[in-house]
Amino acid sequence: MAEVLSQQEIDALLNNVDSVSEKHEESTYDLEREVIPFDFRLPNRISKNQLRTIHNINENFAEMFSSYLMSKLQSIVTCNVTSVDQIYYSEYVLSVSNPACLFTFDINHTDIKGILEFSSEFALTLVDRLLGGNGKGTKNTQVITPIEQKVLEVVIQKILQDLGKAWQIIGDYDFKIDKFEPDIDFVQITSQSESVLLVTFEVHIGEETYMMNLCFATYAFDTILSKLTSQNLSSIRPIKYHGTTAQNILTNHLKKTELSLEVQFGKSSITFNQLLKLKIGDVVSLDKKVGDEIKVSVEKKHMFNGVSGIVNNHKAVKITKRVDKRKK
């Protein structure tokens, strides 16, 4: 015989059904609120692991570029990778200011083309500092003149050289500069609907921060991506920077600085009349004897004592003692 439910049990079942339906509606509402739109038109040619690898490669390049700028500008410089993204080329075109500072380049023996973009402020600061200024000069227009282009080409050539070194872990790629272009509308490395790989850098010079971008056409990246095997992915890591520091730069320059060196063999006093009568072959007696210590001065300062002599038929001075001026 079937069990008959009481009215109280029936009410409890109906209440449970209502609560379950309410929870279902709430969860459905939460799902709809968390939905993120996805654009299926964008061809993601590069996977997340490969993007991470490219990020590490560019971090290695950033370290080398920082070291180069420090030695050139004689200032503390850091360069960091802020993002590595895949976007439409049309989106990148819209993000570029006008006038711009764009250098197009190619990778030899591949179909890969790219754009190296400096912000106008960064380009003009580099030109000012490379020509001996302090980087704080003002200019009425942001247009890069032909003379400024030639100055910047020195830096561009170094950047492309360092990019080649950073990419050596994947293969030997030779980056070559193509041309300078101030207007993005005249630069066409791929179609507007294609995706590009955009690497964004922040360059800190002293207290100022500037932007620099590398834009690659991804349609030609297939040959490179095929080399990014799991072994390569695990072996590429951002290097710990042990490059040139400000102290090393100053020390190296000091070591190359030329200083005047003077040796005082002795002193003698003569009258003006005796000076007028001096002729070739006359001997002037000094207050020092052969073997006595003589003064060796650097930049007019008495730094060492030494003994005169002959080495390999050349007159020479042997340093015998360093003079410590701190001792009284």
pLDDT tens readout for residues 279-300: 888 888 888 887 788 888 888 8
Whole-angstrom distance, CA of residue 67 vs CA of residue 79:
9
When the pLDDT of each residue in the chain is averaged and rounded to a whole number, the result is 80
What is the structure's pLDDT at 327? 58
Between residues 235 and 274, the one the model is more confident about: 274
What is the structure's pLDDT at 212? 92
Region 102-108: what's the mean pLDDT?
89
- Whether the pLDDT of residue 200 is over 90: the answer is yes
| Domains along the chain with CATH numbers | 48-252 (3.40.1550.10), 258-322 (2.30.330.10)
Region 9-18: what's the mean pLDDT?
68
Whole-angstrom distance, CA of residue 214 vs CA of residue 59:
13
- Whether the pLDDT of residue 241 is over 50: the answer is no
Whether residue 83 contacts residue 189, with contact meaning beta carbons closer than 8 Å, is answered with no
Whether residue 203 contacts residue 76, with contact meaning beta carbons closer than 8 Å, is answered with no
Region 150-161: what's the mean pLDDT?
90
What is the structure's pLDDT at 234? 47
Whole-number percent of the chain with pLDDT over 70: 79
Region 198-221: what's the mean pLDDT?
87
Q: Which long-range contacts (CB under 8 A, 24 or more apart) does 293-299 make?
A: 293/320, 293/321, 294/263, 294/264, 294/265, 294/266, 295/263, 295/264, 296/261, 296/262, 296/263, 296/264, 297/261, 297/262, 297/263, 297/264, 298/259, 298/260, 298/261, 298/262, 299/259, 299/260
Query: H/E element holding 310?
Result: strand 301-311
**H-type helices in 140-264, by residue range?**
146-166, 222-225, 230-235, 246-256
Q: What's 287's DSSP letter?
A: S
| Prediction pTM value | 0.58
Tokens for 88?
């439409």
pLDDT confidence bin for 3, thresholds 50/70/90: low
- Whether the pLDDT of residue 277 is over 90: the answer is no
